[in-house]
Structures are given as structure tokens and as C-alpha cells.
Chains A and B, each alone.
Chain A
């Protein structure tokens, strides 16, 4: 007899490439983790990860095609967006990807995603950069100035919703959050021990103690 697989931590299958890196990182922490686009499994999870690489438009189109937008907006457990997944938590993205209008996002954290002003330094902002962290539980035990791995050209500005900062030409949000939704611009799954600690912190969260 087969049973429907369930998991405490669900990674939403956004249809983008590169989902397995995030899964492997959680598996290295011995987490009970599953990649799925099944609405019931996402809703029933203790915590949810929204990954993403590529362009905002393509990723949002994929969520829409899978009818996941309202479902994600209604989640009450801790949700962690990673990289583009973080950007999708915003109101809109100026990354138009050839379209004539800004890309409407999930509108869960009221910030607009705009192009990073690197002041002439190479773009994308690619590589290991230092973060300044807040006392948010996601960054418990993370030292100021820790290096994490970034790859992006767009960014969330500094705002009341900034949970961590980074500097590359300008200061911007390395992490944002509101209520149970949080997101990191960098790739914790590729950020060696520092990234693993951040993911381990996320694994301690649930609806009761959540963000």
C-alpha cells in the first residue's frame, strides 16, 4: 500500500531549475523535507520554503500556472523565500524581462524590487559578501560581518522590513520579513557553515514560535 508522502518542511516546486540544491542543504541538516507543488502538502507543512532562480516574471508565471499564488498568500506557518523567492514576497519587481509592465509579485512584504545600483562595479552581484544582521531568530548565532553567497542584479531596498543588510555600491536588504513571511536574498544553501546555521534556525520555527 502506498501512502501520500508528507514532510515537516516543504519546498515549493516553483518549476524553476536548481531546486535540488535547497533540498540537499536541508537534508545535510537531517531535516524531513519534500519538494512538491501539491497544495495539500504545502498547506499541511510545518514550514515552507519558496526557492527560485531566473527572472521574476517567469517564476510568477509558473506559480500562477500551478494555481499556487493565493495558496501561498494564505499560509500561516513560517515561510522562507530564497533569492528570487525572497523577491517574489515583495509587492512588485521592476525586473520586467522584456515586458512593458512591472512584474506583480505576492505582495506579502510591502517593498518594491528594483535594480541594484552597484556604482559601476560588476553585475550581477556575484560572490561572498558580508551581512549585518538584526536580532531576528533567523540570524540567531550569526556574527556581524559573516560572509554569505549572493547572485543577483535586483534587490529589495532598506525598509522597516529589513532583517539583514549588505553593501555593494549601495546598502540593500540581504533579508526581509513580515509576520510569518521572511526571505533571504543570498543563497544559504551555498553559504557553507553560516548558511547551514541560518537554515537550522529556520528549522526551529513553527506556527507557535514563528517569525
Chain B
């Protein structure tokens, strides 16, 4: 049976792994390659690296570490951060990234998704979506340029519409990052993820809010996502990946042990 994936996310800033609370106040948590190797060893199914400063500051991720990660770890990984052109994507894939994730640049120019799909196939095109619950209107909406608080802005997109749009244009996977939940470890937004799941024919990765092992069980069993992404619970040693996977197996969640 296809296993549910546990995906540690390493937010990268200036070549180091960092983590902030609700995208703010970033603190350094470690070096990229040793942390990657540790997570692979502990049973992570996949890794995601986000250069959180890249999109907002008009620059591309420093790529030297991508090939160092590819040399050393033997599980798949995805690279995100300011990838705006087919040429940039090609370079990252050539360095050994398995997938590239596009967020803000796809909102600015949705045709980027089609062009990348034509060139590389949809299997390596991941769309990251930063979604938040707008309490005033009671709707889910998409934000752009979230890597930098000063640059963050609202978009014209309702989350459900953007989820449909990116699939139509040819993405192979979606990471839904629920911003209201990020970094506060109160659990994944099951309600929102369930809504998006019902619209999503490609694999869906839940992101934002993981605090306990039960949160992972819930997001797999209730929202039926394919993968769950988390950062601080792993970086801070609150949850051990091996223990998490043993727990999920006990709860009858298909898990690669």
C-alpha cells in the first residue's frame, strides 16, 4: 500500500536552516546537510527546503547546497524559493533536486506552471499555497510573498479556485500551508484540508500546525492527505520521526517503517 509520507521542512535562509513563529522572528536551527542526513536516517520519507527569503528579495536560492544534499541523502527532496524561470528549474533539477516547488512566482505568472510542466513533466512540479482563513468574510484566501513580512500581500485568489487552477495548468503535487496554524502547534486545519482534498486530484501535502503525534494521525485519517509536512516539532526534538512512524503504524496509517 502507498505509505503516508512524513516530510520535515527545512526553511533555509542564508544557507542555514531557520524557523520562525508564524513566519516571523527567524532563529537558526542548524546546518542543511547534517540536518538532512539526520532526518533521512530517522525515517523521513522526503524533505522540503524552502528558501524563505528568496521570492521577496528578487533572488534565487544559493544552489551549492542542493548538490551537497543530493550527494549525501538517498530519499527524495524538493527545493523551493524564488524559482521564476524554466532555466532556474532545470539547474536545480540538474543539481539533484527531485522536485521544485513554486509559490509566489506562479501567482504572478500562472503560465509558468504550464511551461515547466511541458519541459520537465508534472511529476516534479509542486505548487506551494499559503492559505489563510479570513474571519471577516469566512473564506479561505491565498497570500503571496510570505517569506518577508513587509512584502507579504493578499491576492485575488480564493484558495479553492487557485487549487483548481494550478491543477488545470499541470502541477503534480500541492503543498497547502495554512498560515493561521503555522508554528503554533495547535494541529493541522482539518476542515480546510478536507475541503481542498475533495478538489485535489494530485497528491496533497498538509503544512502548518503540527504539534503532537495525534495531529499527524488526524490529518491522515480525517483529511486524507498524502503527506504531512512539519518543521519545529522535528527541529526542536518535540517529536521523534521514528516514534511518530511507529505510532502511526499502530493507528493503522500505512507507514514506511
Interface set of A (CB-CB < 8 Å, partner B): 17-21, 24-25, 27-28, 53-55, 121-130, 147, 149, 151-153, 167-168, 187, 189-193, 195-196
- From 108 to 159 in chain B, residues with beta carbon under 8 angstroms from any chain A beta carbon are 119-124
Q: Which secondary structure dominates where chain A touches chain B?
A: mixed
A18 engages B96 (CB within 8 Å) = yes
A122-B203, A192-B40 known; A128-B67 Cβ under 8 A: no
Name 27 interchain pairs, CB-CB below 8 A, sorted by A: A17-B90, A17-B93, A17-B94, A18-B96, A20-B95, A24-B96, A53-B124, A122-B201, A122-B204, A122-B226, A123-B201, A124-B173, A124-B202, A124-B203, A126-B123, A126-B172, A127-B2, A127-B3, A127-B46, A129-B1, A168-B2, A189-B74, A190-B76, A191-B75, A192-B40, A192-B75, A193-B74
Q: Are A21 and B2 in contact (CB under 8 A)?
A: no
By the criterion CB–CB under 8 Å, are A124 and B122 in contact?
yes
A153 cross-chain contacts in B, Cβ below 8 A: 122-123
In the complex formed, the residue of B with least CB distance to A195 is B74
Which of chain B's residues has its CB closest to A167's CB?
B1
Instruction: Please provide the chain B residues from 52 to 79 with a CB less than 8 Å away from any CB of chain A in the complex.
Output: 67, 70-71, 74-76
Is the Cβ of B227 less than 8 Å from the Cβ of A127? yes
Determine whether the beta carbon of A127 is less than 8 Å from that of B200: no
State whether B203 touches A126 (Cβ < 8 A). Answer: yes
A128 touches B96 (CB 8 A): no
Interface residues on B, range: 35 or more
- In the complex, the answer to whether B2 meets A149 with C-beta atoms within 8 Å is no
Interface residues of B in 1-49 (CB under 8 A from A): 1-3, 5, 40, 45-46
Bound CA–CA A127/B94 (angstroms): 21
CA distance A167 to B2 in the complex (A): 8
Could you say which residues of chain B place their CB within 8 Å of the CB of A167?
Answer: 1
Tell which of B70, B74, B96, B120 touches A196, judged by Cβ atoms closer than 8 Å.
Answer: B74
Q: In the assembled complex, which residues on chain A have CB atoms less than 8 Å from the CB atom of B40?
A: 192
Residues of B near A130 (CB, < 8 A) are 1
Query: Is B98 located at the chain interface by the 8 A CB criterion?
Result: yes
A124 and B3 in contact, given A25-B74, A190-B75 (Cβ under 8 angstroms):
no
Q: Which residues of B contact A21 (CB under 8 A)?
A: 70, 96, 98
A-B pairs, 7 with minimum CB distance: A17-B93, A147-B256, A54-B121, A128-B3, A128-B256, A20-B96, A151-B123
* Residues of A contacting B94 in the complex (Cβ-Cβ under 8 angstroms): 17-20
B96 touches A55 (CB 8 A): no
- The answer for the CA separation of A192 and B72 in the assembled complex, in Å, is 11
- A151 contacts across to B, CB distance below 8 A: 76, 98, 123-124, 172
**Across the interface, which residues of A come within 8 angstroms of B121, CB to CB?**
53-55
Q: Which residues of B contact A126 (CB under 8 A)?
A: 123, 172-173, 203, 226
Contacts of B46 in A (CB 8 A): 127
Residues in chain B near residue A55, CB distance under 8 A: 121
How far apart are the CA atoms of A18 and B71 in the complex, in Å? 12
Most central of A124, A152, A168 by chain B CB within 10 Å: A124
Given contacts A127-B203, A129-B1, contact A191 B74 (CB under 8 A): yes
A20, B67: Cα distance in complex, Å: 8
